[in-house]
Amino acid sequence: EVQLLQSGAEVKKPGESLKISCKGSGYSFTSYWIVWVRQMPGKGLEWMGSIYLDDSDTRYSPSLQGQVTISGEKSLSTAYLQWSSLKASDTAMYYCARSITMIGDPFEYWGRGTLVTVSS
Amino acid sequence: QSVLTQAPSASGTPGERVTISCSGSRFNIGSNYVYWYQQLPGTAPKLLIYSNNQRPSGVSDRFSGSKSGTSASLAISGLQSEDEADYYCAAWDDSLSGPKGWMFGGGTKLTVL
């Protein structure tokens, strides 16, 4: 069974750093893209970026490039989303999902999400 | 403001057929596949329709998708109370300038009256 297990909820202060994770199981992790999707409170879905774990090819949304870093460790079947300096506006639910290709395929499996709260 | 435009809300009564629309441009819907996701309250999104009109295994045939030009639609027939959710369209956008990447519609909140 394909599963994407995301790390637990986080409460951080503005300016702090954070790294959240998404661990895949039940399939060949390095043969798929992992995408990160943000959902701010009461808002819609927003693609943040994608990573292909076999060669770490990473693509970012133009609107978010430079604000987050997407990485992965294929030996751990895990992808990461990290911030070096959080802002209150980073408060959101963050989902990871799996896709066969970067462009031509859907986000077919999703994790349950990691809630990130940034507040002083 | 989303690149893909959806009405913020829709409603219907049990048994009715409801249609949710998604409008884009030649850079996204007009040249790429459209996908639909269902997000039940408090849960992660779920893939409902892929490649414009294909249903993943396990998705009810009450859900159907279509695309024409730069617009797409999701139809739900035989509306049920458990269909009450937010519905999002999505497509890859490959504008030469401006947005480029995966785009989602703003979402349509479906209420079953």
In percent, the amount of chain B with pLDDT more than 70 equals 98
8 A C-beta contact, residue A54 and residue A43: no
The mean pLDDT value for A91-118 works out to 94
Per residue in A89-104, is it b (16+ CB within 10 Å) or e — as a string? ebbbbbbbbbbeebee
Diameter of chain B measured on Cα atoms? 44
Nearest CA in chain A to B42: A112
Judged against a pLDDT cut of 90, whether residue B71 lies above it is answered with: yes
Across the interface, of A45, A50, A62, the residue whose CB is closest to B104 is A45
What is the least distance, in Å, from the CA of A64 to any CA of chain B? 11
B17-43: pLDDT as tens digits? 999 999 999 999 999 999 999 999 999
8 A C-beta contact, residue B90 and residue B71: no
Rg (CA), chain B: 14
In percent, the amount of chain B with pLDDT more than 90 equals 91
A51-96: pLDDT as tens digits? 999 999 999 998 888 899 999 999 999 999 999 999 999 999 999 9
Q: Is B77 exposed, middle or buried (0-12, 13-18, 19+ CB in 10 A)?
A: middle
Q: What is the distance of C-alpha A25 from the center of its chain?
A: 16
- Strand, helix or coil at B92? strand
Nearest CA in chain A to B41: A42
Across the interface, of B33, B44, B45, the residue whose CB is closest to A104 is B33
Q: H/E/C letters for each residue in chain A? A: CCEEEECCCEEECCCCCEEEEEEEECCCHHHCEEEEEEECCCCCEEEEEEEECCCCEEEECCCCECCEEEEEEHHHCEEEEEECCCCHHHCEEEEEEEECCCCCCCCCEECCCEEEEECC
What Cα–Cα distance (Å) separates residue B38 from each residue in A69, B44, B48, B75? 28, 9, 6, 12
- pLDDT of amino acid A101: 87
Cβ-Cβ contacts under 8 Å, B105 against chain A: 44
Cβ-Cβ contacts under 8 Å, B31 against chain A: none
Judged against a pLDDT cut of 90, whether residue A102 lies above it is answered with: no
Judged against a pLDDT cut of 70, whether residue B99 lies above it is answered with: no
What is the least distance, in Å, from the CA of A103 to any CA of chain B? 6
- pLDDT of amino acid B95: 84
Which two three-digit tokens encode residue B57? 């295994």
A5-44: pLDDT as tens digits? 999 999 999 999 999 999 999 999 889 999 999 999 999 9
pLDDT level of residue B10 (50, 70, 90 thresholds): very high
**Which of A34, A38, A45, A107 should we substitute to test contact with B (largest number of B Cβ atoms within 10 Å)?**
A45
Judged against a pLDDT cut of 80, whether residue B68 lies above it is answered with: yes
Diameter of chain A measured on Cα atoms? 41
Nearest CA in chain A to B97: A62
8 A C-beta contact, residue A114 and residue A94: yes
B13 phi and psi angles, rounded to 5 deg: -100, 160
